[in-house]
A and B are shown apart, each in its own frame.
Chain A
Amino acid sequence: MTGNLGSRRDISRKDFLALGGVLAGASLLPGCSAFSMDPDTADRSRSGRKAGAAPAKGKEAPMLAARVKAGSLPPVDKRLPANPRVIQPLERAGVYGGTWRTVEASTDPSWLWMTVCHDHLISWDPTWSKIIPNVAESYEIRGDGREYVFKLRAGMKWSDGQLFTADDLLFWYEKIYLNKEITPVLPSTLQINGKPLVVEKQDDHTVTFRFPEPNAVFLQNLAIHGPPFRLLPRHYLEQFHKDSNPGLGDDWAQKFLEKIDELNNVDLPVITGWVPKNPHGDGDRQVWERNPYYFKVDPDGSQLPYIDKVVFTFFQEQGPLILQAANGDVDLYMRAEVTTPKNRPVLARGQKNGGYKLVKVKDPTHNTIGICLNLTHEDPDKRKMFQNKDFRIGLSHAINRPQIIDLVFLGQGVPWQTAPRPEVPFYKSDDMGKQYTEYDLGLARQHLEKAGYARTDARGRRLGADGRPIVISVLIQSRYPVMIDAMEFVKGTWAKVGVELRIDTASPELVGTRMDANKYDCTLDVGEIGYVDMLTDPRWLFATGGSSYAPLWSRWYEGGAPKEEPPEAMRRQAAIYRQKVVGTSDVDTQYAGIREIIEIARDEFWTMGISRPASSYAIVSDRIHNVPGDDKMWLAFKCPYPAVTNISQYYLEGE
Chain B
Amino acid sequence: MLTFVLRRVLYMVPTVFLISVVTFAIISLPPGDYLTTLVAQMRAQGVQVDAGQLATLEQRYGLGQPLYVQYLKWISAIGLHLDFGQSFQYNRPVADLLAQRLPLTIVMALTTLVFTWVIAFPVGLYSAVRQYSLGDYLFTTIGFLGLAVPNFLIALVLMYLGYRFFGLSVGGLFSPTFADARWNLGKVVDLLGHLWVPVVVLGTAGTAGLIRILRNNLLDELRKPYVVAARARGIRERKIVVKYPLRIAMNPFVSTIGWILPLLVSGEVIVAQVLSLPTTGPLLLSALLSQDMYLAGSLILIVSVLTVIGTLLSDIALAWLDPRVRLGDR
Contacts and interface: CB of A to CB of B under 8 A. Distances in A.
Interface of A: 27, 33-41, 44, 47, 101, 106-108, 110, 183-188, 224-226, 254, 257-258, 261, 263-264, 277-285, 287, 311, 313-317, 319-321, 323-324, 326-327, 329, 477, 479, 507-513, 526, 528-529, 533, 537, 539, 544-546, 558-560, 636-638
B87 A320 contact: no
17 contacts: A35-B185, A36-B186, A110-B45, A185-B53, A225-B47, A264-B91, A283-B97, A284-B276, A316-B285, A317-B274, A320-B274, A324-B171, A508-B40, A509-B40, A510-B30, A512-B39, A546-B48
Contact of B171 (A185, A280, A315, A511): A315
Given A36-B184, A39-B181, A508 B90 contact: no
Contact of A185 (B44, B51, B181): B51
B8 interface: no
B44 A526 contact: yes
Nearest to A516: B36
Nearest to A99: B176
A124 to B, nearest CB: 15
Contacts of B186: 36-40
Contacts of B90: 107, 264, 280-281, 283
A185 to B, nearest CB: 4
Nearest to B92: A281
A306 B240 CA distance: 74
Nearest to B96: A281
Contacts of A320: 159, 170-171, 274-276
B283 interface: yes
Nearest to B97: A281
A317 B170 CA distance: 12
Contacts of A513: 31-32, 36
Given A107-B286, A319-B159, A509-B36, A41 B181 contact: yes
Most chain A beta-carbon neighbours within 10 Å: one of B90, B101, B178: B90
B160 A323 contact: yes
A329 B169 contact: yes
Interface stretch (B20-28, B54-62, B206-214, B321-329): B54-62
Contacts of B177: 39, 47
A314 B47 CA distance: 22
Contacts of B187: 39-40
Contact of B91 (A258, A546, A559): A258
Contacts of A41: 180-182
A512 B283 contact: no
B311 interface: no
A545 B50 contact: yes
Given A326-B163, A513-B36, 12 more contacts: A37-B185, A40-B183, A188-B50, A188-B53, A224-B47, A283-B101, A314-B276, A317-B273, A319-B156, A320-B276, A508-B40, A513-B32
B203 interface: no
Interface string B258-294: 0000000000000001111010001101100001000
A387 to B, nearest CB: 24
Q: Describe B's contact surface by its main secondary structure.
A: helix
A37 B178 CA distance: 10
B297 interface: no
B41 interface: yes
Contacts of A39: 177-178, 181, 186-187
B52 interface: yes
Contact of B51 (A37, A279, A282, A559): A559
Contacts of B185: 27, 34-37
B162 to A, nearest CB: 9
B172 interface: yes
B106 to A, nearest CB: 16
A215 B159 CA distance: 53
The interface centre, meaning the residue of B31, B171, B275 with most chain A CB atoms within 10 A of its CB, is B171
Contacts of A560: 51
Contacts of B156: 319
B194 to A, nearest CB: 12
A258 B182 CA distance: 27
Given A509-B291, A512-B40, A329 B176 contact: yes
A257 B184 contact: no
B133 interface: no
Contact of A511 (B30, B40, B49, B178): B40
Interface in B48-94: 48-53, 55-56, 59-60, 86-87, 89-92
B253 to A, nearest CB: 31
Contacts of A107: 89-90, 286
Contacts of B51: 185, 188, 545, 558-560
A560 B53 CA distance: 12
Nearest to B89: A107
B114 interface: no
B189 interface: yes
B91 to A, nearest CB: 5
Nearest to B289: A507
Given A34-B184, A278-B180, A284 B53 contact: no
A561 to B, nearest CB: 10
Contacts of A559: 51
Contacts of A44: 180
A37 B49 contact: no
Contacts of B179: 284-285, 313
A521 B191 CA distance: 53
A185 B100 contact: no
Nearest to B52: A185
Contacts of A101: 176
B37 interface: yes
A269 to B, nearest CB: 18
Nearest to B163: A323
